[in-house]
Amino acid sequence: MQKGQEPIKNNSTIVKIPIWIAIALVGGILLGANFFGGQTRMNNVLKGFNKYREVLSLIENSYVDSVNTDSLVEFSIRKTLEKLDPHTSYFSTDEVASARSQLESGFDGIGVEFNIFSDTVYVVNAMAGGPSESVGIKSGDRLIKADGISLTGPKVTQSLIFSKLRGTRGTEVQLEILRNGEKGIKKFTVIRDRIPSYSVTAGYMVDPQTGYIKVDRFTESTFDEFRNILTTLKGQGLKRLMLDLRGNPGGYKDRAEKMVDELLAGERMIVYTDGKGSKYDTQTFTKKDGIFEKGAVMVIVDENSASAAEIVAGALQDNDRALIVGRRSFGKGLVQMPVSLQDGSELRLTISRYYTPSGRSIQKPYVLGREEDYEKDYEKRLKSGEFFNADSIKFNDKLKYKTLGGRTVYGGGGITPDVFVARDTTYFTKYLSDLWGKNIIREFALNYANDNMKSLEKLTFKDFNKFFVVNDAMLIDMQRLAKQANVKMRARDYERSMPYIKAQIKAYIARSVWQRKVNDGLNNEYFQIMSPFDDTFQKSLKHFDKAERMARGELVETISHSIKK
């Protein structure tokens, strides 16, 4: 033991707990080995387990220093999983709650959206009808302390804020707040409650016949949110649908399947899985009348659309039901099963591969134990020019498949769109990136909205969108705020990014004014203002004639046809 090091003291029970955990974990593996591979495979697993138990016992009884054997077990599990595929993962008891919350329909907290600016936590929005709004907390308030713990300074992080504001419903948190225009600290006692979280962030009519729905991820509530919005839009005259899955990392497979079932008529295959043996082999078909089975459908994807999002895109493409627009998707075709371990930790084990109806696996290539190479795929695609030129997309003729109508599609690395749209970098500069990094645009818009709320609330959104202009005086004030945050002014960058900056200021102002009035998770006002600057959105609209042809049963050439020619 090194001199001056605090010794870690373990009693017999503490040392044995990790061994019990290992026994439970390996016991499950033994059952799996017996089920899938018979006596030989079980014997091999048992031999390895006995060796691991022997090593832990030797450490417990004979190692010269005191050690934290729990950390040894955690380390060994993680290193073991590194030898498997890139998506099998392990979450410790401390990590489980956070990991699960990303796919849950809500969480226990105080109901505020916040922004960290200049080492200070600002309330962006107090949820309508939520715990914070009910006690008088307002947009623009600065959170100084929570239960006596400081929420200011350079060490303030989102994880710290979450740890203090979230908690079991019914419990109290004591908040200390500073409010603009008022002297002294204001104190509030907020009782935590269930706060809904939403995965569908936009749903509105672009024009009298075109509806737009943006889905950020597939959580517990995604299908219900989607179905409700789709029903609303159909009541407003929906004839053609644009489903935006850009940046959607996936989530619950069954929510994606149900979404497809609302759009695809008849008894058509959605997806099938193939695992070791037959235990995890499944086939999923459409089985009910959907809300929107006849109109034109367009699905937008990009390089960050993955997993469940790719199931939706692949099913609709293979059944010739939707026109896929954008860029090649991520390429995650592996299915994970969450397994709760006895100590509360969780293993997410890859149990099968999924395949689109045509038989293609969209999982991109990987080498077992080489996760660092797998993670560099994005960088390789960027350097190859694939995000900007359709000709840079590579097709493997050995992985050629046919859609239901006979169109050629390819497996082996994501869903390739029918219509390619390059990444747009027109307005993106170092100056704009710095503004985003310091939350300048959002903070300025929030302050402006709070200072002018009475006059802004008199407007309808339609009038605001049509007549409100971000003027030069507002831009000068924003530049002043940026300077205070040590964002270096870059004149050439500023001129290039200015149209986008003005639009985003306006969009965030609208979001602050109109979103506080409802609690449905939709940011329609923001997306409507920003849509003229969304190149993929605008170009997608121009290709609806192809989606309409597909809806009539005509075949539309895929991008692979064009490139091959």
Do 192 and 204 lie in a common domain?
no
Structure tokens at 560: 């692979």
Do 34 and 56 lie in a common domain?
yes
Do 254 and 336 lie in a common domain?
yes
Domain end call among 181, 196, 211: 196
In a domain, 470, yes or no: yes
Question: DSSP secondary-structure letter at 344?
Answer: S
Q: What is the DSSP string of 168-188?
A: -TT-EEEEEEE-TT--S-EEE
Q: What is the pLDDT of residue 262?
A: 98
Question: DSSP secondary-structure letter at 152?
Answer: B
Q: What is the pLDDT of residue 468?
A: 97
Domain end call among 130, 165, 196: 196
Query: From residue 331, how far is each of 147, 255, 350, 381, 382 by CA, in Å?
Result: 45, 19, 15, 12, 15
Do 439 and 415 lie in a common domain?
no
User: What's the pTM?
Assistant: 0.85
Q: What is the pLDDT of residue 13?
A: 44
Residues 6+ apart with CB under 8 A from 101: 107
Do 310 and 394 lie in a common domain?
yes
- Collapsing DSSP to helix, strand or coil, 334 comes out as strand
Quick check: 194 and 177 in contact, CB under 8 A?
no
Neighbour count for residue 477 (Cβ, 10 Å): 13
The residue range of the domain holding 471 is 430-533
**Could you identify the residue written with the tokens 């295959």?**
269
In a domain, 539, yes or no: no
Neighbour count for residue 253 (Cβ, 10 Å): 20
Structure tokens at 265: 């008529």
Say how far apart CA 536 and CA 247 lie, in whole Å: 13
Name the nearest CA neighbour of 52 among 33, 31, 25.
25
Domain end call among 64, 81, 98: 81
H/E element holding 189?
Answer: strand 186-191
Do 387 and 443 lie in a common domain?
no
In a domain, 2, yes or no: no
Neighbour count for residue 504 (Cβ, 10 Å): 24
Say how far apart CA 531 and CA 268 lie, in whole Å: 34
DSSP lists the bridge partners of residue 323 as: 298
Structure tokens at 249: 């990392």
Do 434 and 467 lie in a common domain?
yes
Do 324 and 249 lie in a common domain?
yes
In a domain, 302, yes or no: yes
CATH number for 299: 3.90.226.10
In a domain, 93, yes or no: no
Do 213 and 292 lie in a common domain?
yes
Contacts of 226-232 spanning 24+ positions with Cβ under 8 A: 226/200, 226/259, 226/262, 227/262, 227/291, 229/200, 229/203, 229/522, 230/203, 230/262, 230/291, 230/292, 231/291, 232/203
Do 504 and 559 lie in a common domain?
no
Q: What is the DSSP string of 213-262?
A: EEE--B-TTHHHHHHHHHHHHHHTT--EEEEE-TT---B-HHHHHHHHHT
Q: Are strands 193-196 and 89-91 parallel, antiparallel or unpaired?
A: unpaired
Quick check: 287 and 267 in contact, CB under 8 A?
yes
In a domain, 95, yes or no: no
In a domain, 204, yes or no: yes
Do 489 and 558 lie in a common domain?
no
In a domain, 4, yes or no: no
Structural domain tally of the chain?
A: 4
pLDDT tens digits in sequence order for the chain, 565 residues long: 444 444 444 444 444 444 444 444 444 444 444 444 556 666 777 887 888 888 888 888 888 888 887 888 888 889 888 888 899 999 988 788 777 777 877 888 998 888 888 788 999 888 877 899 889 898 889 999 999 999 998 888 888 888 899 888 999 999 999 988 788 899 999 999 988 889 999 999 999 999 999 999 999 999 999 999 999 999 999 999 999 999 999 999 999 999 999 999 999 999 999 998 889 999 999 999 999 999 999 999 999 999 999 999 999 999 999 999 999 999 999 999 999 998 899 999 999 999 999 999 989 988 887 877 888 888 888 999 999 998 888 888 899 999 999 999 999 889 999 999 999 999 999 999 999 998 899 999 999 999 999 999 999 999 999 999 999 999 999 999 999 999 999 999 999 999 999 999 999 999 999 987 777 889 999 999 999 999 999 999 999 999 999 999 998 887 755 545 4
Do 259 and 245 lie in a common domain?
yes
CATH number for 129: 2.30.42.10
Quick check: 450 and 180 in contact, CB under 8 A?
yes
Residues 6+ apart with CB under 8 A from 343: 17, 21, 93
For residue 490, with 0-12 CB atoms within 10 Å meaning exposed, 13-18 middle and 19 or more buried, which class applies? middle
